[in-house]
Amino acid sequence: MEEKPIETQEEEINLLDYLIVLAKQKRFIIKVTSGFAIIAAIASLVMSPVYKAETKILPPVNISSGIASQLMNQLGQLGTIAGISGLPINGKAPNELYIGLLKSRTVLDEMINRFDLMKLYGKRYRENAREKLINDVLTVRDDRKSGIITINIEDKDPKRAAEMANAFVEELQKLNTGLAITQASQRRLYFEEQLKAAKTSLTQAEENMKGFQEKTGALHIESQAKAVLEGIGMIRAQIAAKEVEIKVMKTYSTPQNPDLKRVEETLKGLRAELAKMEGKGGKGHDPLMPTGRMAQLGTDYAKQLRDLKFNEVLYGLLLQQYEAAKLDEGKNATTIQVIDKAVPPEKRVKPKRTAMVMLAAIIGFFLSAFAAFLIEYRERAKENPEDRARFDTLKQYLSFKR
């Protein structure tokens, strides 16, 4: 029952021994700790200050062809059946897209040329200057709740930091505008060529119909046959327009694009409907013929009328698409809104002198305390023959003269 107090007392004595060692070496510990703190303070004063400029932008959240949709809606039910509402551009543009554009080689190279960064950063190769920009200078944050993108630039010159932050926004806007104009121009040029060909075919069909009527005098056919012919002509025109739309979409979309697959399914349905109306591939039994046999003259007239209706509807659809693409090309690209323009910062962000001094002081304290225990142990070892012999053996092994 009396051994436990003795153990407790020994533990307390050991703890006091540690405190005694620290108190005994307090001057040494204070000097080392102060030395570390002073060195860190001097280093923080010698280091060049770094400033951070910040700008906030609000990228466009929806890029859509509203004009094209309005024009296509004028077709009424025909536009709905054909599924034509202007070529899709992009839906909701995520912020990751604009962050990626900010870090693209095109934007980075423009910044390097604009501010002569290869000379400023002392880089021999442009690739190294880009890495410096991305890793040490540029920081981009995306606030998913508000949709605001924050661009931070760190530089030794506060004025240059602000200018570079604003320049990044300008280069992003320039790149975004260039991409939008290029896409709209390609659509307009493609539809322009298709429209010329459709106009030529329509003119030829009109001349053929006029010549046939003048030659034969056939001016009327049964109303039912005429309605069927017009329906077939319209479906064929829709198929042709849909094929044009698919060709255009394939110029900027992958085969896995859901919008492309949707249009292809619509085209498949239209072809099935046409095959149903015309029979097997347009051969065999002709649904265009009325209950009784249609005279050869009526059949020839029906063919002329079908070709004319086909070219009229096709030309109208392509004209609508062309006008939509032309208006989209004339519109300015969606503007990136600047919420907070970067201004020269007044306070530095690096070096953080207080934090550096405190960290150095903590490191100095622990190192000096550890050294104090080693010194104390060495002094005690000199009084103990066994420990003195161990120190001598350790010195022999640590010596390089062996």
| Tens digit of pLDDT at every position of the chain (402 positions) | 444 454 444 444 466 777 777 777 788 888 888 888 888 888 877 777 888 999 999 887 544 444 444 444 544 444 443 344 444 444 445 688 888 889 999 999 999 999 999 998 888 899 999 999 999 899 999 888 888 999 999 988 899 999 999 999 999 988 887 776 556 667 777 888 888 888 888 889 888 888 876 776 555 555 545 666 677 778 888 888 888 888 888 777 777 778 788 888 888 888 887 777 665 444 433 444 433 334 465 677 778 878 888 888 888 888 888 888 777 766 655 678 889 898 998 888 777 778 888 888 898 888 888 887 877 777 776 666 766 676 677 667 666 655
Q: How many angstroms separate the CA atoms of 251 and 325, rounded?
A: 15
Burial class of residue 65 (count of CB atoms within 10 Å of its CB; 0-12, 13-18, 19+): buried
Q: Which amino acid is at 221?
A: I
- Residue ranges of alpha helices (H) inside 217-295 are 223-250, 258-278
Contact, 373 vs 24, CB < 8 A? no
Which has the closest alpha carbon to 341: 53, 52, 134? 53
Place of tokens 């910062």: 345
Contact, 191 vs 86, CB < 8 A? no
pLDDT of amino acid 56: 93
Strand partners, 50: 350
Q: How many angstroms separate the CA atoms of 223 and 210, rounded?
A: 20
Phi and psi of 194, rounded to 5°? -65, -35
Which has the closest alpha carbon to 155: 138, 175, 140? 138
Residue 315 CB partners (closer than 8 Å, separation 6+): 195, 198, 199, 201, 202
> Taking phi first (over 0 means left), then psi (-120 to 50 degrees means alpha), and beta for anything else, what does residue 373 get?
alpha
Contact, 136 vs 146, CB < 8 A? no
Q: How many angstroms separate the CA atoms of 132 and 126, rounded?
A: 10
pTM of the model: 0.51
| Direct distance between the N- and C-terminal alpha carbons of the chain, in angstroms, rounded to an integer | 55
DSSP character for 124? S
Distance set, CA 212 to CA 38, 42, 78, 206, 295 (Å): 105, 101, 29, 10, 15
Which has the closest alpha carbon to 370: 3, 21, 4? 21
pLDDT of amino acid 267: 85
CB atoms within 10 A of CB 205: 20
pLDDT of amino acid 58: 87
CA 118: distance to chain centroid?
Answer: 26
Q: How many angstroms separate the CA atoms of 37 and 354, rounded?
A: 10
Q: Which amino acid is at 331?
A: K
Domain boundaries, the chain: 20-47+351-398, 50-340
Task: Check whether the bond before 158 is cis (ω within 30° of 0).
Answer: no
